[in-house]
Amino acid sequence: MSLPAADDLFRPTSTKTGNSDPAPKLAAAPEPVEDEAEEPTPRRKSSGRIRHDEKMTVYVTSDELLEIEHARLTLRRSTGKAVDRGRLVRAAIAMALAEFEERGEESDLAARLRDS
């Protein structure tokens, strides 16, 4: 059994502190790529590491959870950044919705839902 890293447990949830100096800002996600020739699927910006006021519960199978955890650990190893499951899922949702917005019924999202 592995424990989460300290930076997973102790991370800022807002940019305000008790003193007059603002806390360091978190790195922003990269801006969407506009060049359609190189990137046919539009990139929607995910919310990243900010305080989220809304909550949604999603149930997944054990295999799906293991795949999410595997992706999280692979991203951590390859990027050197601690990526939590919520951030990973929000990024995946943003990608799926951007493709759906661009391709509509021809999108991978629509096809998966049609085939399920």
Q: Write out the two tokens for 84.
A: 């939590």
pLDDT computed for residue 21 by the predictor: 45
Minimal CA–CA distance to 102: which of 46, 48, 34, 47? 34
Q: Write out the two tokens for 20.
A: 């007059």
**Distance between CA atoms of 54 and 77, rounded to whole angstroms?**
30
**Per-10-residue mean pLDDT for the chain, 116 residues long?**
68 53 44 46 63 88 96 94 91 95 96 94
Alpha carbons within 13 A on the beta-carbon side of 74: 7
Q: What are phi and psi of 40, to 5 degrees?
A: -70, -25
Q: What are phi and psi of 51, to 5 degrees?
A: -75, 125
